[in-house]
């Protein structure tokens, strides 16, 4: 072929070969009946089209590996190439395919309002014109060129540059022959020709096993035939403020190990072992510490990079979906720890993704978390907000998750969070509130509840920010529930003190009732309370070994009868002796010891009692469900209160003795005459106690006490909680 017949100029050909061309689809492919092919490493190439004999293509005189020739653009074709050693290969030209993203996708992506972002971006296995392959799309608006790289092209960033879609900054390409299980990354040429470190896919559905960092072509839950229809129809009741909600918080990597502690359980194994255990223990929900892909085990998942990928540590996305389905089959809801507050600085992640501060703020006063050495999302950028909002919907939709527990909300709400004067930038009104983050949370909650009826959202929020769990239309953030961090901090401070000093701190146990109805609260004893030298729950308790276990049992009795939903971190249900270590299994052998087994059985019975008595949960978030009977007996460290359900529901009276002194003639006022059954006593022998109590119940007498017309002497065992139910 004479030089004058080449369609592609020398400059364009070399720009393609050197990975500098910003518009490869204007050069490559069957344009005007003249085919241009870039095949790095090839010295010969042939066009295969129809039944005709392969036609040799001419190598561009100014660019080795660049070939041209005549082609019928209306018919499919493939390319056969050969290198200098005579090794040949054949491929379908990706530049013969038109755009995959539609005009609506382009519009919604440009507006930053694509609620199903994951269906447009990421890597999607497809068949186009009878050719199987994968469609890749990624947002990188400031890039000069973006390419998909992997073993399929020897990780050569010049091989498969992508098509830029107008002004929205999205790049896409359909790569024939790339199938599920393929490892890939993006090579991005930034402004000025800077080649970025290879980037994982921000909307990738799978990842390699750490420490490898490549994305993997996976199908999410798309097309899965779910078998949890009954659960999905009924879950709104299970997630209601009027329902008994008792959550078991789990770190999947260390709940239990397999193969003599050498590996974590798979999603398949967890679908049986964990689900059966949580069901047996009587919890209503499982809360998973983050399972979105993360590079560092020691972050426990709270520094995620693969926001759309269930971690491969336990199996594939389909296996994770099967785990959720198994939980639903057992009547358990599954909550997911979601981390929109920050992301790590790892080179393969979102940091300076296209060579600019794309997902993060440019100014570290706004965009860097000093506590965690992580970056903060630019919530005010519509595309970034869309990325996070769609991610929340993705987990709820594709994996049928029943709710999101949003991590570190306080760090999102305030621009001066953990910063000194001069280290933060005020908002447009001069205040400390992060208005953009507040809007993101409100919109995410509105979308989540609107798009996925029956779910719940939960805020881990440790400040006095008003209205966290109030509806957006009433000025709130729109969460369904909020962790009661004040209750947790006060009561743990109290219970860790020697009983002789507790009378001076009596208010730490009663103060929570001053604000108990200001939010829809969950009472959390989370993983954060049993790490970093804080010790386990049993290790926080003072006194002899017997007193430690009695203290813990009494505390759990108080917790399960106090207004608010319940959350307990794994291992604390059997009083694990040492604090949690993410790298090791829980100490399950301790369940064979009577005192540990006793705590486990107590938590199981507390869950059963909580579920079976409407008085203990119906009004968890309303004042009509609680009355103090005795809140001021600091000298004896005794607390007595009543719990009430709806009309016709038996009332509950709880008496808690937080000293190691038995009080055998303690008079308690009861809100109704007659018999009251003792339905739980944390001093029962089966729990490891001394079996002191009230012989199954009491009969009231008409003696006014505690502002009640009826009362009775009761026995309060040392360090115990005793629960009476109206017969």
Among the listed residues 12, 249, 325, 407, the single catalytic one is 407
249: Cβ contacts below 8 Å, ≥ 6 apart = 287, 289, 524, 526, 527, 567, 568, 569, 570
Structure tokens at 530: 């049993």
pLDDT tens column, 245-267: 999 999 999 999 999 888 999 99
528: Cβ contacts below 8 Å, ≥ 6 apart = none
pLDDT surpasses 70 at 1: no
Residue with tokens 């009596």: 506
Share of the chain above pLDDT 90, in %: 96
Structure tokens at 330: 């057992």
Q: Are the C-beta atoms of residues 220 and 390 closer than 8 Å to each other?
A: no
Give 718's Cβ-side CA count (13 Å radius).
15
**125 membership: H or E segment, kind and range:** strand 122-128
**Cα gap 581→594, rounded to integer Å:** 23
Q: What is the mean pLDDT of residues 554-573?
A: 98
674: Cβ contacts below 8 Å, ≥ 6 apart = 699, 700, 726, 727
**Cα gap 570→568, rounded to integer Å:** 6
Q: Are the C-beta atoms of residues 77 and 47 closer than 8 Å to each other?
A: yes
pLDDT surpasses 50 at 332: yes
Q: Which residues of 608-643 are buried (b: 16+ CB within 10 A; e: fewer)?
A: ebbbebbbbbbbbbeeebbbebbbeebebbbbbbbb
Q: What is the mean pLDDT of residues 681-688?
A: 98
Question: Could you give the residue ranges of the DSSP H alpha helices within 123-216?
Answer: none
Check residue 275 and give its pLDDT.
Answer: 98
List the one residue out of 178, 170, 265, 242 whose CA is nearest residue 619. Answer: 242
Beta bridge partners of 657: 638, 720
460 is catalytic: yes
Res. 221 pLDDT band, cuts 50 70 90: low
Structure tokens at 338: 């979601």
Indicate the CATH number for domain 103-216: 2.60.40.10
Give the dihedral sign, CA 624/626/629/632: negative
Q: What is the mean pLDDT of residues 62-83?
A: 95
The full DSSP string for 427-474 is -TTS-SB-HHHHHHHHHHHHHHHHHSTT-EEEE---S--TTTTS-GGG
List the one residue out of 408, 564, 406 whose CA is nearest residue 487. Answer: 564
Q: Are the C-beta atoms of residues 67 and 91 closer than 8 Å to each other?
A: no
Q: Which fold has domain 3-96?
A: Immunoglobulin-like (2.60.40)
Check residue 222 and give its pLDDT.
Answer: 61
| 3-class DSSP assignment, residue 183 | strand
Q: Are the C-beta atoms of residues 565 and 333 closer than 8 Å to each other?
A: no
Task: Output the CA torsion 272→275→277→279 (10° steps).
Answer: -130
311: Cβ contacts below 8 Å, ≥ 6 apart = 207, 291, 292, 293, 294, 301
Residue with tokens 């108080």: 558
Give Cα 354 to chain centroid, integer Å.
Answer: 26
**CATH 2.60.40.1180 correct for 623-726:** yes
627: Cβ contacts below 8 Å, ≥ 6 apart = 641, 642, 644, 671
pLDDT tens column, 337-384: 999 999 999 999 999 999 999 999 999 999 899 889 999 999 999 999
Q: What is the mean pLDDT of residues 5-17?
A: 94
**Cα gap 183→207, rounded to integer Å:** 8
Among the listed residues 93, 360, 460, 630, the single catalytic one is 460
pLDDT tens column, 88-131: 999 999 999 999 999 999 999 999 999 999 999 999 999 999 99
Q: Domain boundaries in the chain?
A: 3-96, 103-216, 623-726
pLDDT, the chain, mean: 96
**Cα gap 463→491, rounded to integer Å:** 17
pLDDT surpasses 70 at 150: yes
**Cα gap 34→28, rounded to integer Å:** 10
pLDDT surpasses 50 at 624: yes
Check residue 2 and give its pLDDT.
Answer: 43
407 is catalytic: yes
pLDDT tens column, 485-534: 999 999 999 999 999 999 999 999 999 999 999 999 999 999 999 999 99
Q: What is the mean pLDDT of residues 38-65?
A: 94
Check residue 3 and give its pLDDT.
Answer: 44
**Cα gap 46→53, rounded to integer Å:** 9
Check residue 261 and give its pLDDT.
Answer: 86
| 3-class DSSP assignment, residue 285 | strand
Beta bridge partners of 29: 36
């Amino acid at each position: 072929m004479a030089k004058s017949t080449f369609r592609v100029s020398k400059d364009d050909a070399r720009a393609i070969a050197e990975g500098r061309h910003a518009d490869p689809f204007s050069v490559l492919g069957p344009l005007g009946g003249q085919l241009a092919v870039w095949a790095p490493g090839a010295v010969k190439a042939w066009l295969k089209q129809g039944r005709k004999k392969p036609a040799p293509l001419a190598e561009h005189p100014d660019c080795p590996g660049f070939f041209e020739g005549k082609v019928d653009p209306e018919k499919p074709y493939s390319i056969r190439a050969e290198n200098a050693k005579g090794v040949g290969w054949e491929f379908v030209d990706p530049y013969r395919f038109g755009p995959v993203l539609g005009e609506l996708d382009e519009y919604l992506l440009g507006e930053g309002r694509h609620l199903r972002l994951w269906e447009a971006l990421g890597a999607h296995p497809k068949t186009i014109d009878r050719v199987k392959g994968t469609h890749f799309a990624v947002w990188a608006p400031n890039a000069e060129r973006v390419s998909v790289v992997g073993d399929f092209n020897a990780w050569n960033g010049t091989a498969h540059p992508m098509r830029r879609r107008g002004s929205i900054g999205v790049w896409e390409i359909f790569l024939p022959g790339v199938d599920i299980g393929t490892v890939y990354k993006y090579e991005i040429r930034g402004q000025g020709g800077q080649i970025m470190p290879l980037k994982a896919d921000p909307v990738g559905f799978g990842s390699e096993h750490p420490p490898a960092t490549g994305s993997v072509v996976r199908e999410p839950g798309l097309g899965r035939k779910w078998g949890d229809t009954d659960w999905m129809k009924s879950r709104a009741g299970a997630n209601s403020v009027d329902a008994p909600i008792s959550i078991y918080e789990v770190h999947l990597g260390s709940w239990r190990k397999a193969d003599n502690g050498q590996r974590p359980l798979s999603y398949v194994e967890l679908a049986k072992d964990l689900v059966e255990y949580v069901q047996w223990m009587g919890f209503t929900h499982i809360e998973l510490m983050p399972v979105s892909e993360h590079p560092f085990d020691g972050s426990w998942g709270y520094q995620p990079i693969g926001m759309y990928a269930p971690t491969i540590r336990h199996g594939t996305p389909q296996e994770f979906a099967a785990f959720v389905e198994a939980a639903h089959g057992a009547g358990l809801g599954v909550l997911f720890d979601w981390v929109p507050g920050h992301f790590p600085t790892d080179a393969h992640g979102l940091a300076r993704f296209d060579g600019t501060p794309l997902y993060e703020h440019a100014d570290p006063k706004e965009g860097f978390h000093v506590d965690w050495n992580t970056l903060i999302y630019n919530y005010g950028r519509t595309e970034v907000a869309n990325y996070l909002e769609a991610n929340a919907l993705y987990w709820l939709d594709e994996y049928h998750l029943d709710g999101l527990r949003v991590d570190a909300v306080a760090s999102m709400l305030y621009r001066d969070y953990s910063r000194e004067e001069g280290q933060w930038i005020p908002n447009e009104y001069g205040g400390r509130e992060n208005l953009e983050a507040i809007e993101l949370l409100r919109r995410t909650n509105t979308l989540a509840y609107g798009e996925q009826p029956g779910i719940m959202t939960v805020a881990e929020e440790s400040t006095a920010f008003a209205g966290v769990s109030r509806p957006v239309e009433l000025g709130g953030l729109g969460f369904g529930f909020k962790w009661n961090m004040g209750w947790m901090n006060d009561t743990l401070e109290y219970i860790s003190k020697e009983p002789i000093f507790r009378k001076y701190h009596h208010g730490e146990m009663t103060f929570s009732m001053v604000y108990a109805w200001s939010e829809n609260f969950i009472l959390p004893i989370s993983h954060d309370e049993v790490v970093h030298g804080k010790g386990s729950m049993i290790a926080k308790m003072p006194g002899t070994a017997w007193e430690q276990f009695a203290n813990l049992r009494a505390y759990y009795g108080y917790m399960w009868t106090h207004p608010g939903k319940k959350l307990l971190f794994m291992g604390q249900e059997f009083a694990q002796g040492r604090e949690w270590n993410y790298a090791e299994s829980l100490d399950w052998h301790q369940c064979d010891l009577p005192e540990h087994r006793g705590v486990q059985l107590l938590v199981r019975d507390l869950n059963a009692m909580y579920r079976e008595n409407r008085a203990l949960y119906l009004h968890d978030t309303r004042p009509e469900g609680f009355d103090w009977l005795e809140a001021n007996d600091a000298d004896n460290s005794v607390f007595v209160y009543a719990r009430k359900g709806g009309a016709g529901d038996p009332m509950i009276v709880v008496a808690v003795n937080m000293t190691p002194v038995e009080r055998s003639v303690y008079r308690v006022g009861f809100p109704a005459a007659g018999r009251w059954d003792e339905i739980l006593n944390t001093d029962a022998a089966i729990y490891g106690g001394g079996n002191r109590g009230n012989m199954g119940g009491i009969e009231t007498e008409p003696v006014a006490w505690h502002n009640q017309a009826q009362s009775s002497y009761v026995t309060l065992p040392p360090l115990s909680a005793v629960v009476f139910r109206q017969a």
